[in-house]
Amino acid sequence: MNKGQQSNIEGQKGSYERIKSKTSLKEILAVACSFEEAARNFYRDLTPKVSKNIRWLAEELATEEQRHYDLLSALAARADIAEQIKAEVRTPATNTKFSDAVHLPDLGPKPDDQAVLQYAMGREHLAMEHYRSLAESTDPGPIKELFEFLANEETQHKSELEKLYYETVHSGGV
């Protein structure tokens, strides 16, 4: 293989890496909608299975995930930002984990409070990191504002869950 042919192959590899490192906001919004929808369904279905001590939490989380789904869906459907949604952004490092989180664990017919709280904390942490990364790589405007809002919400949820987890574990409630 001569230098010119090798250069073309290397150039193709570099182009592929650049393409692979980018994704459209439309794709990101679709994955985020799936993530929030799966979480809503998970918490909704979990509600009757958990102890009465945290049933309110499962209901609240299902409601919050529905609200996030609604916000993301509404943004994706806005005609005034249709061109922005076609834009490509750097694929967040959390993208694979975030996409995989659509597949939910089976916590069994009677999950204990600690297992539910641990799962919820991990999910909120992943969402917080993902939305924060998206906010950092998105141009100013309604898309960036929504990602910042969601990152802040997920941060607050994670903090509340950590507090509840600490109280539950240290009160002997598990």
pLDDT digits (tens, 9 = 90+) for 66-104: 999 999 999 999 999 888 888 887 877 787 777 766 677
* CATH for the stretch 23-170: 1.20.1260.10
pLDDT digits (tens, 9 = 90+) for 110-147: 888 888 899 899 999 999 999 999 999 888 999 999 99
d(CA 46, CA 58): 7
Q: Where are the alpha helices (DSSP H) in 47-141?
A: 55-77, 82-86, 95-100, 113-136
- Is residue 86 exposed (0-12), middle (13-18) or buried (19+ Cβ within 10 Å)? exposed
pLDDT digits (tens, 9 = 90+) for 18-56: 445 678 888 999 989 999 999 999 899 999 999 998 999
Contact indicator for 50, 111 with CB cutoff of 8 Å = yes
8, pLDDT greater than 50: no
Residue 174, pLDDT score: 47
d(CA 164, CA 171): 10
**Domains of the chain by residue range:** 23-170
Which backbone phi and psi does 90 adopt, to 5 degrees? -65, 130
> Residue 101: which residues within 8 A CB-CB, separation 6 or more?
35, 38, 123, 126
Contact indicator for 104, 38 with CB cutoff of 8 Å = yes
